[in-house]
Amino acid sequence: MLLLSLALILFPFAFLDRGFNTQTKKFIIFSFCVLFIILSGIRWNTGTDWDAYLYSFSAATTYDNAVNSPISFEWGYSVLNLLINKLVGSYTVFLFIFGFITIYLKFLVINRTQFIGCALFSLYIFYCYSMGDIVFGRQSLAISLVLFSFIYILKKEMLKFIFCIFLASLIHRSSIICLFLYYIYNLNISKKNMLLIFISSMFVGLALFNFKISNLNIPIISQFSAFAAYQDKLDAYSELGQVSYGQVDSNLSNILGYLRKGLFVIPMIILVKKENIVIYRLLNFSIFGSMVYFILGAIATDFKRLGGYFDIFDILIIPAVLYGIDNKKVRYVLILIYSIMIFLRLYTSLFNFWNEYDPFITIFDFHKTRY
């Protein structure tokens, strides 16, 4: 499988940040990102929700069809559909443009001077977390905009940060939750309190899950337009046979999800150095994201997808924390362990929808059928 093979090619680079100078690392990252963009543009009938996205693009022949039909997505994504459909009428061109923006924004962050020291490891994590955005959805671009907005948090330019989140919400409305990040980053939370918040929210989530709160009918929630729009989206997916949302987790999958969170977050809290203020404060995002995952995820499984806005910062946190370990042997053993766990995360994502990703069909063999 192509997508899994690329991860195996990138795997050794997780250990090589100290082996290349800055210019070489920038060239390697640039080369892989160009490859990701090309693959994202030439794919065809590959990836989850392919039919829904293709149908939405094809139907975007007028503003009303693009924005106001039952299968319309968020305004920004719908208008982009309309513009490219009107100008060139090619879904492949749309994929190239959307893929370029999505990948380029992440490239800009990884390539920044303050993160270039561990950038090859960051590239590996970026690929394994999101398949390099080769197979993307609306949330992929929203996540890229949220990650890019972090630059303006560092520069303390609040209006530019808000503008980035606003743009992200036009692509995927759920990203509006990230408006809190500007405030969260500036919180000075001790390691002890980080652990306490993480563990407490985990137990609250377990309690809500066992209480089966997701089965409760709370009338007031349905009155909010955001929830009504969310339900309309699920109905549209259902009509197209693309439903993969709203299912309640089993106890086993829920426990495994909690275990994965614990293995990624708790060691980072313990190992991070307080003097590395940027990375230390970034852990605030991991804590907040974990609260969202545990508590909102117990209410509805699909809310766990909100965690993607916070998990993406792992591409900066994990490399910086592990490469910051003074003992060389411990450092590389932990890099190996985390690299394997991150690879397994990718493998699980692919395995769950194997038939959607393998074979990787392109525009050059689009006549092939998926099933």
| pLDDT tens string 70-106 | 888 999 999 999 999 999 999 999 999 999 999 999 9
Q: What is the pLDDT of residue 82?
A: 95
pLDDT of residue 212: 55
* Bigger pLDDT: 296 vs 28: 28
Contact 202, 254 (CB under 8 A): no
- Cα distance between residue 333 and residue 191, in whole Å: 23
pLDDT tens sequence across 221-244: 445 444 455 545 444 444 444 434
* Helix residue ranges, H only, the chain: 2-10, 22-42, 50-59, 63-68, 75-87, 91-110, 119-130, 138-154, 158-171, 181-185, 191-210, 225-239, 251-271, 277-291, 297-299, 308-311, 314-323, 328-352, 354-357
The pLDDT tens digits of the residues spanning 139-175 come to 999 999 999 999 999 999 999 999 999 999 999 999 9
Type of residue at 168:
A
Cis omega (within 30 of 0) on the bond before 359?
A: yes
% of the chain at pLDDT higher than 70: 85
pLDDT in tens, 121-146: 999 999 999 999 999 999 999 999 99
Mean pLDDT of the chain: 87
C-alpha distances (whole Å) from 95 to each of 99, 126, 364 are 6, 19, 15
What integer pLDDT is reported at residue 265 of this predicted model?
A: 94
User: Could you state, in order of their start, the residue ranges of all structural domains in the chain?
Assistant: 187-324
The pLDDT tens digits of the residues spanning 242-264 come to: 434 334 445 666 677 788 899 89
